[in-house]
Amino acid sequence: MAESGLEKTELDTKVRVLTERVPGVRSVSLGIWMNAGSRDESERQYGLSHFLEHMLFKGTSRMRARDIAEAFDNLGADINAFTGRESTSVYTRALDEFLPRVMEITFDMVRHALLEPGDLDAERQVVQGEINMHADSPDELVHDYLAGVLWGDHPIGHSVLGDIDVIKGVSSESLSGFYRERYVGSRIVVAAAGAVDHERICGLVSEQLDGLDAGAPTVRDNSIEVPLTGRKIVWKETEQAHITIGSKGLSRNHPDRFALAVMDTIIGGSMSSRLFQRIREEMGLVYSIYSYSGLFMGMGMVGIYCGTQPVQAQDVIRLIEDELVKVRDGGFTSEELERTQKHIKGSMTISMEDSDHRMNRMAKTELEGGEHLTVDQVVEHVESVTLDDLHRIFEETWGSVGASLSVIGPFEDDELCLSGRI
């Protein structure tokens, strides 16, 4: 069943348009989503999806970069973009009265980026700076290292920011070919939430994308259902040790994804979670500790991150394993289940008051080929999760193939390790 108020149309160009009207607001959150990300890059292309996203802002034949910036400021609108492992999005928020002009500029950027050699050379420096800044952020970089351990040579394990040598060497011609192949109708979803009229949005999109090549849809047939296991310890003189532990997860549309969300929240996804209460509150060994999951098409992972003083790193790793062993051997409690179900229900209901969240949710669900569920339907799925479901999902994830470890800090390769109990 579709979300109440959600409407969908597929245009002749194969572009899918989704809208949801939110009563009582005067703004529109609109995103142009491409079903293309770092996962879809070959080794020679690592980082081009992200680089191309940057280049969209450098100008078209109608407007240069400064013109674009000034136009959005004059309209009181925002525009931004991001690149992920499986999608790229350019998104904006504006008053409904300015929507036609905002869409005209945004679609011009997405469809008619110039990619001139001089602009490429300037933006290379910016992207290289971003890569270097990421390398100086161990709390972020450690997640890339864990992905590399889990997925090996698979492109989903490579950093979204890419490879500096690829960025340095890409030509205007090769980036243009990359652009033409990916920014095609069958890979584009346009989502809008807020003060929207579906027919009006469809008309504006059709006008801006008239004549767009439908192209070939994205094909991802290279999934790795079971990740690798291993360890990566990277020496760096840091004040904190940055630790990630990961294992097998679930794919994006897996029927047990609701049970996974509940399990993840109990383990480390809230202030009342086991990891936060035991290691942060009771023992005071960390400032930040949380669990998370990565759900991709055909594959997934579960993870835990924490930062601690280097002298405590091995003890914290042991304590995390202790908590996972307690789950494996003793399971969860009915009190934890009930509390977490209420937490997820409240968080989801509150988030739906934000039109940006609604827009993102629509687009991601459509790109993933999933079912557009109402909040009530999602809550129903969450509330139907049982203790038996949680125990089964733990065995399918953390208990299935063994855990992997990635650490950044002042350690030699053999100083830290997992015990193998999980």
Active-site amino acid positions: 53
Q: How many helices (H) and strands (E) does the chain have?
A: 15, 11
CB 406, CB 231: distance < 8 Å? yes
CA distance 155 to 181: 18
> In a 3-state reduction of DSSP, which class is residue 407?
strand
**Termini Cα distance of the chain:** 39
Q: What share of the chain is helix, strand, coil (3-state, %, to 5)?
A: 50, 20, 35
Cβ distance 2 to 160 under 8 Å?
Answer: no
CB 102 within 8 A of CB 76: no
393's enclosing H/E stretch is helix 387-396
Across 128-142, b (16+ Cβ under 10 Å) vs e yields: bebbeeeeeebebbb
Tell me if 249 sits within 8 A of 293, measured CB to CB: yes
Helical residues (DSSP H) of 239-374, grouped into ranges: 257-268, 274-275, 313-330, 334-351, 355-367
* CA-based nearest residue to 364, from 75, 34, 95, 11: 34
Burial class (CB in 10 A: 0-12, 13-18, 19+), 400: middle
Spatial CA neighbour of 316 closest among 346, 289, 345, 355: 289
Q: What is the DSSP letter of 277?
A: I
3-state secondary structure of 384: coil
Residue 107: both structure tokens together: 């679609």
The DSSP 8-state label assigned to residue 278 in this structure reads: I
Closest to 20 in 3D by CA, of 238, 242, 194: 194
The vertex-69 CA angle with 66 and 75, nearest 5°, equals 135
